[in-house]
Amino acid sequence: MTPHVGTTSPTDSIRTTVVALSAVVAVLCSFLGSGAVAGTPISEAAGGALSADATAVAPGGAAFSIWTLIYVGLIALAVWQALPQQRANPRQRQSGWWIAASMLLNAAWILAVQFDLIWLSVVVIAALLGVLARVFVLLTATRPESRLEAVVVDGTMFVYLGWVAVATVANIAAALQADRLDPLGLGADTWAVVVLALVAVVSVFLAVVGRGRLAVTAAVVWGLLWIALARIDSDGWQSTPAAVAAAVAAVVAAVSAVVVRTAVSSA
């Protein structure tokens, strides 16, 4: 762990404290979303709009286990960035406030769903996606100074971004389905193919901008494969077009990341 030379300012102390508190808020609100202690499980809240079989692009229930990894990563990140050696870390000075915002938006999203405010949850998750994209740009602009930083900070935030990119599509579809809205009258299967193609395009963009960062791609592929599996589940919303589109998008995401990473490594 590389110590940072320089004086820690009062702003650094405030920032690291806010990030740590934001992580606590996010984790506490996650218990509402799980229904383990209080609240309603996300799959049952808002009339089941976000359940695994609610729409043609809803990931299978097991896909949401990725949140455990994300929350563990956020806690580790909050502890790491608060260490005396890291408070003056230039990368944390740039991204810390944005990371805190992402945690608070996560909590806000869970609260919106708990109160059945499905369209508000769409606004919140869109804002969360924008914040995570900003963190992605900031972190990929410079290299982490240690392997630990690469895993705890970059790894956590990139997995977070990849999953939220897929979850945003699912959230929008859930809101439309809850209100029985079908823009342009194309039907669920056609819209599923369109939005999953868009996810594939976004995954290529992230691969290029992030120079083949595998963590973000892994999370995107995870979400897409669980969408594909959920569409062939005999007990769920079946859709062959959506299943194929999700599988193809997963392949596109994986191949683009590998190609870009290989090109960068050989340059």
Q: Is the predicted pLDDT of residue 5 greater than 70, yes or no?
A: no
pLDDT at 6: 57
Q: What single-letter amino acid sits at 42?
A: I
Q: Looking up tokens 């959230």, which residue turns up?
A: 171
Residue 6: count other Cβ atoms within 10 Å of its Cβ: 11
Nearest residue to 77 (alpha-carbon basis) of 99, 59, 93: 99
pLDDT in tens, 155-182: 999 999 999 999 999 999 999 999 999 8
pLDDT range class, residue 1, cuts 50, 70, 90: very low
pTM: 0.94
pLDDT at 7: 78
pLDDT at 180: 92
pLDDT at 111: 94
For residues 194 and 179, what is the distance between their CA atoms, to the nearest angstrom?
Answer: 20
How large a percentage of the chain has pLDDT more than 90?
83
The stretch 194-213 carries a mean pLDDT of: 95
How large a percentage of the chain has pLDDT more than 70?
97
Lowest mean pLDDT among 105-119, 177-191, 251-265: 177-191
Contact 221, 246 (CB under 8 A): no
Q: Is the predicted pLDDT of residue 96 greater than 80, yes or no?
A: yes
pLDDT in tens, 25-60: 999 999 887 776 777 888 888 889 999 889 999 999
Q: Is the predicted pLDDT of residue 129 greater than 90, yes or no?
A: yes
Query: In the structure encoding, which two tokens stand for residue 239, read together?
Result: 């859709």
Three-state secondary structure call for residue 144? coil
**What does the angle CA 210 – CA 143 – CA 75 come to, to the nearest 5 degrees?**
85
DSSP state for residue 215 in the 8-state scheme: H
